Amino acid sequence: MTEFPLLSALVVVPLIGAIIVASVRREQADVAKWTALGFSGAVAVIAAAIALSFDYGSGAEWLQLTESYSWIPAWDLNLSWGVDGIALLMVALTAGLTPIAILAAWRDLDAVHRSVPTFFALILALEAAMLATFVASNVLLFYFFFEAMLVPMYFLIGSYGSGTRRQYAAVKFFLYSLLGGLLMLVAVIGLWVHNGGVFDWQTLVASEPLEAGGLQNWLFLGFFVAFAIKAPFFPFHTWLPDAGGAAPASIAALLVGVMDKIGTFAILRYCLPLFPDATQTFAPWIIAMSVIGVIYAALVAIGQTDLKRLVAYTSIAHFGFIGVGIFAFTQASATGAILYMFNHGLATGLLFIVVGMLALRRGSNTIGDYGGAAKTLPLLAGVFLFAGLASLSLPGTAPFISEFLVLLGAFTANEPVAVVATLGIILAAAYVLWMYQRTMQGARNPVLDEMPAMKRDLTIREKALVAPLVVAIIGFGFYPQPLIDAVEPAVDNTLQFVQDEPAEVPAAGETNE
């Protein structure tokens, strides 16, 4: 137990902020913005304190900074929190990207027709729910926040999105996610009944796994399908292009940059340790799905005419790489998959934000409405190109080491899979360069010369919000060791369940020697 409840504060502070911001009068838009930014900054400070308090040694406890508060003892339902190296990276990503998203949305809303305080209150509520899923160490508590985050995201897409299909996209997102959540709830209840009324994650992990076969397979599928929809993996992906295309760019950055990572994070946290035999049984099928997703999404991305939908499809391809990395079951591939989750959040978050800046100036997401925009927007064009190159894992950017480790680990486990997945890199270069060339280079669209906004390059606010992401992508591209040091012990602890000779599992409170 820690002296100060850092993990509780991580969840409670943005919830309090959401309540305060929601209570601000509609006409006080600036007050709501600054209050939301202040609370998101406080969450970033708490996340930094968690990172400084974390023990990065290989002999440390699997879950650290643990807290537990009794809620409903009869159901083994406690407010239990804990963080490992994987969760630490996701917490840092969430806490860092949220204030950037708030800054990105600073001038995007029409205060006459939409409530600015409600918008920023929903962002803080979403942040609280996402952080809670990463640090929850009670399965039912995780499920509660896994479902709760749907509500703010639904309204952020449906009420504050753009386009005539935003309501359709919001409902589709909600129904897909709700269906997956209901399957997971059935599996959670089955797990609880079979284990004698236990929801505590550390107790479940330390106990004997379910007998291989029937029940374990069904429970695994209940969890996995919910997480595959959230990720999303092919063929559960169809909600993402609609939601990503309709959501405000700042919200799309959180949706694809953070929320989708909850799916892959949960696979590592719950599927591998709790259902190891089922994980091995279904791994070849999931790897096949992932490889198909890499190629399919890349090909579809090449044919997109909408900027945000194109970026959404690129993310589906990237999640295919993450799936390959997780289910190859090697340390290199799993480490690469986790780094991919973090670095993809940085690169794709930046790409969505830059696309949002461009669309706000032009008033359109359609690629054909641009052409030669770099002539009057050189800085924006430069950041756009950088974000695109980072998303295709250019060496020297943070995603490169992630993709390299995934392919390296996958190659040692399954050479054909790694070779086919490598084709996704070539296709990624095609859709990124095509997108950049059609919008920023080539013959200039004469309509752009008639739009004063298309002659206004990056403002001070926009430079301030993209600079941290650019620095992080370059910094972790050249020196990823701090990220690797954080996740490797958690990777070892997780993979031991699906390796041929698993090591002894430490009980709650014990350490690995």
The distance of Cα 297 from the centroid of its chain, to the nearest Å, equals 18
Characterise 196 by phi-psi region: left (phi > 0), alpha (psi -120 to 50), beta (else).
left
**341, two tokens:** 């989750």
Among candidate residues 354, 375, 386, 338, the one with its CA nearest the CA of residue 492: 338
Q: Which amino acid is at 106?
A: W
* pLDDT value of position 142: 94
Give the model's pLDDT for residue 500. Answer: 59
pTM, two decimals, is 0.91
- What SS3 state is found at 105? coil
Q: Token pair of 244, please?
A: 């990503």
Q: Could you tell me which residues are beta bridge partners of residue 138?
A: 200
CB atoms closer than 10 angstroms to residue 209: 17
Distance from C-alpha of 178 to C-alpha of 71, rounded to nearest angstrom:
25
The pair of three-digit structure tokens given for residue 507, joined into one six-digit string: 């009980």
Alpha helix locations (H) across 25-70?
29-53
User: What are the tokens at 188?
Assistant: 């959670």
* 301/48 Cα distance (integer angstroms): 36
What are the pLDDT tens digits along the chain (513 aa)?
447 899 999 999 999 999 999 999 988 989 999 999 999 999 999 999 999 999 887 667 788 999 988 888 777 688 899 999 999 999 999 999 999 999 999 887 765 467 899 999 999 999 999 999 999 999 999 999 999 999 999 999 998 888 778 899 999 999 999 999 999 999 999 888 888 778 888 888 888 777 777 888 999 999 999 999 998 898 888 898 999 889 999 999 999 999 999 999 999 999 999 999 999 999 999 999 999 999 998 889 888 888 899 999 988 988 999 999 999 999 999 999 999 999 999 999 999 999 999 988 888 888 888 888 888 899 999 999 999 999 888 899 999 999 999 999 888 888 888 888 888 888 888 888 888 999 988 888 888 888 888 888 888 999 999 999 999 999 999 999 999 999 999 999 999 888 754 434 344 444 333
Torsion of CA 275, 278, 282, 286, to 10 degrees: 0
- Give the tokens for residue 251: 């919200």
Query: Could you tell me where the DSSP H helices lie in 211-275?
Result: 214-230, 239-246, 249-254, 261-266, 272-274
